[in-house]
A and B are shown apart, each in its own frame.
Chain A
Amino acid sequence: MSAPLLRIEELRVAFRGTGGLIEAVRGVDFGVAPGEVVGIVGESGSGKSLSMLAVMRLLGATARATGGRVIFDGEDLLAATEARMREIRGRDIAMVFQDPQSSLNPALTIGRQVTDVVRAHRRVSASEARRIAVEALERVGISEAGRRLDAYPHEFSGGMRQRALIAMAIACRPRLLIADEPTTALDVTVQAQIVELIAELRRDLGLAVIFISHNLHLVAEIVDRVVVMYGGKVVEDGPAADIELAARHPYTRLLRACVPSLHGPLGPLAAIEGAPPRLGRMPAGCPFAPRCPQAADACEREMPPLATDGARRIACWRPQ
């Protein structure tokens, strides 16, 4: 593997609670190579979105990164100034979010929102910015883009809005796109189109992508590597095919079983018993131990380290 484009080292994120800091991301560690597509999979509250917001330095007032480093292209983003971050956001790393409905400003035209991104990072004329915007919109599959520039978000369908948001994200040709559950709020058919679009952009633009999802199957179709998170930690990490076919962490295996297959016979819907650990009440040992069918005494006592095994890493005392 070539030198990583993004290297997240021991990242910790905590919320400011009434009783002090509550840690939600507890030492996350992984890298993304240039042009690589990495899927982050986990339940709500596993810390996957929070880690990515920390990478973008968009955590807001209630949470903050309390430890670790985020090295992008040799630069520690956690130590960068806000002005420097503003340069990086949208130009080098862009992020799209879950709900295209509310992620576009309803008062501004699509064209205005795309050209604004262009003009925030490049000194170009208004007409040149428009040309770049049309190109970006066409690239994400919006037909008659020139005419659509003057449309408002409410005149677009959900899938079109997500395309427009992706157009904003790629308008300045960033090297990394972070997509935080970009398909969750969309129809199933549209979901597949957006996934296909992201795969296409990666192919055509050489874009590295971090694709956050709770749907392992969806992610497995386009990613090179899957990072599985649970309880604010990476529990398994490996090539997509390996994880899809032969997951070794009990959590990953159960997560796989939860997504009903579209091809096989329809059995009872699988679910993982119990609930994820609550923030601030993380067990001392493996966070998944209380729900794990394979758990032994050791699991409850001590957190297993993320051990490397060939191309894979796994944090489990009793991997399968």
Chain B
Amino acid sequence: MFRLLAGRFFASLGTLFFVGLVLFALTRAGPGSPARIVLGADATSQQITQFEHANGLDRPFLEQYAAWLFDVLRGDFGKSFVTGRDVAGEIAGALPVTLSVVLLAFVIAIVVGIGIGSLAALRPGGPFASVTRLGVVLGLSIPAFWLGIVLIRFIAVELRWLPPGGYVPPSSGLIAHLQTIAMPAVSLAVYYIAVLARMTQASLQDALRGDYVRTARAMGLSSPRIVFYALLNALPPVINLAALSFGYMFGWALIIEQVFNIPGLSRALLNAISQRDFLLLQGIVFLFTAIFVLANLGADLVNRVLDPRQRSSA
């Protein structure tokens, strides 16, 4: 078990290494030098060479990558070319904002998605299952940003229940905080509610047809207990999907933050892209990759706990 976990951990590190390499190459493959942006259009070529030398941009590609990776492993993401500020500090400032939106969306998606999917699995041909099927298609087709705009229009502008945008950190009041992230989180969650509900429904429906469910019924066990036990066997694919969803949510969160004018990572990332702020861009995307990899590692762990066959095989 421990050896297997260690193996997973090192495989994840390997993934990060290669993703970092590709990311590094792509960042530099784009047109435009950060020097031009920082120094302005009328900088002399000598000034530019000087800038590139000072920031190590003239060194060989692999050398640059090795140096960067080494620094990153020590927690040093470098300094922004443009603002001169510490990249790690810049990210640390914006990450909690994005994270709070994504976490709320994730919790909503898990609870509502698995809940709806389970209920729909109980009566495969029943009315709730039919409504769920329709709802899933709807949830999958509604773009998150459009839903966000609709929510602002009706809930914030018409009904005035929630603020139309902006962000209040939890330190300034938890209620106010939740009020600012509620609509963004719901917009973000709807797609994943649909995905998780569909997967839960299919997986649980399958599990409920199992022979052990018939055994449990033949022994007089109560229905809620039987469904719960079937769910234990139905959850692993749902958990894997949830982990992927968690990673994807960070991508969609960038757009949602724009819609709701939330000062999260999206602002930093868009600035980094338009200003060729290599180190900031690399730092943010590398962080997203790490979150993705970690989420999948977490899913493996949870599944290992759920499935005794996996637990004892290592």
CA distance A102 to B207 in the complex (A): 11
Task: Verify if B71 is at the interface (C-beta below 8 Å from A).
Answer: no
Q: What residues on B are CB-neighbors of A56 within 8 Å?
A: 218
Given contacts A107-B307, A152-B308, contact A94 B219 (CB under 8 A): yes
Q: Is the CB of A102 within 8 A of B212?
A: yes
Are B222 and A165 in contact, with the CB atoms below 8 A? no
Stretch at the interface among A81-89, A125-133, A137-145, A250-258: A81-89
Residues B212 and A106 in contact, CB atoms below 8 Å apart: yes
Pair A102/B306 contact, Cβ less than 8 Å: no
- Looking at A107, A117, A121, the one whose CB has the most chain B CB atoms below 10 A away is A107
Residues 77-116 of A at the B interface (beta carbon under 8 Å):
86-91, 94-97, 99, 102-109, 116
* Any A CB within 8 A of the CB of B271: no
Q: Given contacts A91-B220, A107-B233, A108-B232, are A165 and B309 in contact (CB under 8 A)?
A: no
Partner of B229, one of A89, A91, A102, A107: A107
B91-144, CB < 8 A from A: 124-125
**For the complex, is B158 an interface residue (Cβ under 8 Å from A)?**
no
Annotate B64-94 by CB proximity to A: 1 below 8 A, 0 otherwise. 0000000000000000000000000000000
Say yes or no for B210: interface residue by CB 8 A criterion.
yes
Least distance between A97 CB and chain B CB atoms (Å) = 6
Task: Find out whether the CB atom of A89 lies under 8 angstroms from the CB atom of B309.
Answer: no
Docked CA distance A108–B212 (Å):
11
Given contacts A99-B211, A105-B212, A165-B215, contact A120 B222 (CB under 8 A): yes
Which residues from A are CB-within-8-Å of B220?
86-91, 117, 120-121
Contact digits for B180-224, partner A, Cβ 8 Å, 1 yes 0 no: 000000000000000000000000000000111011111111100
Which residues of B, 211-257, contact A by the 8 Å Cβ criterion?
Answer: 211-212, 214-222, 225, 229, 232-233
Q: Return chain A residues, CB-CB under 8 Å to B225.
A: 116, 120
Q: Which of A61, A88, A91, A103 contacts B211 (CB 8 A)?
A: A103
* A301, CB-defined interface residue at 8 Å: no
Chain B residues in 8 Å Cβ range of A89: 217-220
Residues of A within 8 A of B306 (CB): 107
A212 to B312 Cα, complex, angstroms: 36
In the bound complex, how far is the Cα of B309 from the Cα of A183, in angstroms?
25
Assess whether B312 is in contact with A155, with CB atoms less than 8 Å apart.
yes
Residue of B nearest to A91 (CB): B220
The residue on B at minimum CB distance from A116 is B221
On whether A152 and B221 interact (CB within 8 A), knowing A103-B212, A103-B215, A104-B212, the answer reads no
Which residue of chain A lies nearest to B233 when distances are taken between CB atoms in the complex? A107
Q: Which residue of B214, B215, B232 is within 8 Å of A107 (Cβ)?
A: B232
- In the bound assembly, the distance between CA atoms of A96 and B221 in angstroms comes to 14
A window 196-227: CB within 8 A of B: none
A168 at the binding interface (Cβ < 8 Å): yes
State whether A117 touches B307 (Cβ < 8 A). no
State whether B211 touches A58 (Cβ < 8 A).
Answer: no
Q: Using Cβ atoms and an 8 Å threshold, which residues of chain B touch A155?
A: 312
* Assembly CA distance A97 to B233 (angstroms): 20
The residues in B between 262 and 314 inclusive whose CB is less than 8 angstroms from any CB of A are: 306-309, 312
Give bound CA distance, A89 to B220, whole Å: 5
CB pair A120 B219 closer than 8 Å: yes
Q: Report if A318 contacts B (CB, 8 A).
A: no
**Shortest beta-carbon distance from A86 to chain B in Å:** 5
The smallest C-beta distance from A212 to any residue of chain B, in angstroms, reads: 14
Q: Does A154 contact B (CB under 8 A)?
A: yes
Closest to B229 in A: A105
Residue of B nearest to A104 (CB): B212
Taking A107-B232, A152-B312 as contacts, is the C-beta distance between A94 and B218 under 8 angstroms?
yes
* Complex: A90 Cα to B225 Cα, angstroms: 15
The docked-state distance in angstroms from the alpha carbon of A88 to that of B221 is 11
| In the bound complex, CA of A95 to CA of B214 (Å) | 10
Which chain A residues lie closer than 8 Å to B233 at the CB level? 105-107
Q: 5 closest Cβ contacts across the A-B interface?
A: A90-B220, A90-B219, A89-B220, A102-B211, A107-B232
Question: 14 A-B residue contacts at CB 8 Å?
Answer: A61-B125, A88-B220, A89-B219, A90-B219, A90-B220, A102-B210, A102-B212, A104-B215, A105-B215, A106-B233, A108-B232, A116-B221, A154-B308, A169-B218
Identify the B interface with A (CB < 8 A): 124-125, 210-212, 214-222, 225, 229, 232-233, 306-309, 312
